[in-house]
Structure 1
Amino acid sequence: MDRYLIVGLGNPGKSYDKTRHNIGFRALQELARKHGLEFRKRADFKGSVAEGQIGTAPVLLLMPLTFMNESGEAVAQIVRYYQIDLSRLLVLTDDVALPLGQLRMKINSGSGGHNGLKSIEDHLQTNRYARLRIGVGDREEGDLTSHVLGRFSEVEEKLIPGVLERAVQSVEIWLDKGITSAMDFANVRI
């Protein structure tokens, strides 16, 4: 069975819940919720995994429980175990270079300085997979690490359900109609 693998990036642990860096986890959790899929911790994959169908597509959803900088280890393990064709891999991640809520779907692009994507590229030894970058906004001032590990403001948090809905729709289009249609939907400026 040719499965699709959708990975949400984030950091494990309650202290990282709802941080900007964990928007990939949140988008993946919303996708799972919408389609009635449940996550189970899998030590062999160093992550939480949900398995099932979205539409007619057989899917695996992975939230690596390594820290962001080591996400590639979990991704590479599950890719090898299930022999996932990399054209069926999509990674959901935060992007500070995009305004809050802006989506950008790309394929075969670099890490853009994102340590989670860099780890995946290092472990897979390629960047030939799709990624959905979810804009979390850049910092006004101060340290980048503090910004991405910080939480959204109250005003920003009110926008997040709509952002997650668009991210989920982008994934559904990718599964149903392919990367080009998904990029046409996701890459519209808001």
Structure 2
Amino acid sequence: MVGLGNYQIPTSRCSVGMTAINILATKLNVDHKWHFDRRFWGKVTIATRGQHQIILLKPQQLMKMNGISVSLAANIYQVAPEEIFLFHDQMCIPLGKYIITNEEQSVREHSGVISCINKMKSDIMPRLMIGIGPPPHRSKRGTLHHILGRFSEVQQRKVMQVLEQCTNYLLEDLDKIWKPEVDK
């Protein structure tokens, strides 16, 4: 599971994927085990859930280069593209909403996802798109200023609620998928 973002500005809208990964690490009781691995320029921690390992990754590169970390880590941990779950911000989704998909929705707009697709040579990675909403109005600073900006206090509370929801949902879904079959 990869939290896309810009490590230099962890509280920005574009780094909400990293915030989601931090929440998952806390829920999986591995938030104190983050360490930097220079082989793939990322912070990583590994959780065990049942008989499965969950590798959590936060690339420590600019958003448009996140795919380098993802590709190198996937190679080291021998993870296939379809097993990589990307968490990232999405402007076309309203603030406080999220979508889980494995389709190529709005890929053209997200440099981190494009980077991952290009480096992995695959577009089948499932994604959790976290809504940050569009800029409130047109400004001279434009879209980039919105994406790199921080949430207001009210927006931050709303984002934390949706991150709590989507991480709970994801863990429940994983538990259902990984639940061993019981013969009757």
Call closer, same or farther: CA 1:176–1:109 in 2, change over 3 Å. farther
TM-fit CA distance, 1:65: 0.2
Between the aligned partners of 1:122 and 1:170, the Cα distance in structure 2 is 29
User: Residue 18 of structure 1 aligns to a residue in which SS?
Assistant: coil
| Contact kept in structure 2, 1:57 and 1:176, CA below 8 Å | no
Aligned residue for 1:129? Answer: 125
Which runs of 5 or more residues in structure 1 are unaligned? 1-5, 179-190
- Equivalent in the alignment of 2:36: 41
Shift of 1:174: 4.1
> Would the aligned equivalents of 1:101 and 1:135 in 2 still touch at CA under 8 Å?
yes
| Aligned twin of 2:84 | 89
Report SS of the residue matched to 2:94. Answer: coil
Contact 1:57 1:175 in 2 (8 A): no
* 1:18 aligned partner: 11
Match of 2:116 among 109, 113, 120: 120
Q: What TM-score does the superposition give when structure 1 sets the normalisation length? A: 0.85
Structure 2 length as normaliser, TM-score?
0.87
TM superposition outliers: structure 1 runs of 4+ over 6 Å = none
RMSD of aligned residue pairs (Cα, Å): 1.4
1:188 corresponding residue in structure 2: none
Cα distance, 1:100 vs structure 2: 0.6
Q: Closer, same or farther in 2 for the Cα pair 1:108/1:80, shift >3 Å?
A: farther
Give SS of 1:99's match: coil
After superposition, the C-alpha distances for 1:53-103 in whole angstroms (9 at most, x for unaligned) are 134431100000011000000000011112112222100000010001111
Distance between the aligned counterparts of 2:176 and 2:40, measured in 1? 29
What is the CA–CA distance in structure 1 between the aligned matches of 2:28 and 2:47, rounded to whole Å? 9
Residue 30 (1) aligns with residue 23 (2): yes
Task: Select the structure of larger CA radius of gyration.
Answer: 2
Unaligned runs of 5+ in 2: 178-184
Instruction: Please tell me whether the aligned partners of residues 5 and 14 of structure 2 are also in contact (alpha carbons under 8 angstroms).
Output: yes
SS of the equivalent of 1:79 reads helix
Residues 122-143 of structure 1: per-residue CA shift (max 9 Å, x gap): 0011101100000011102231
Q: How far off its partner does 1:39 sit?
A: 1.0
8 A contact 1:54–1:172 mirrored in 2: no
Matches of 2:109 and 2:173, distance apart in 1: 25
Q: Quick check: 2:6–2:15 contact (8 Å CA) kept in 1?
A: yes
Q: Which position in structure 2 is the counterpart of 1:165?
A: 164
Amino acid at match of 2:134: D
Give identity over the alignment, percent: 29
Aligned length: 171
Aligned AA (2:42): G
1:75 correspondence with 2:70? yes
Deviation at 1:170, TM superposition (A): 3.1
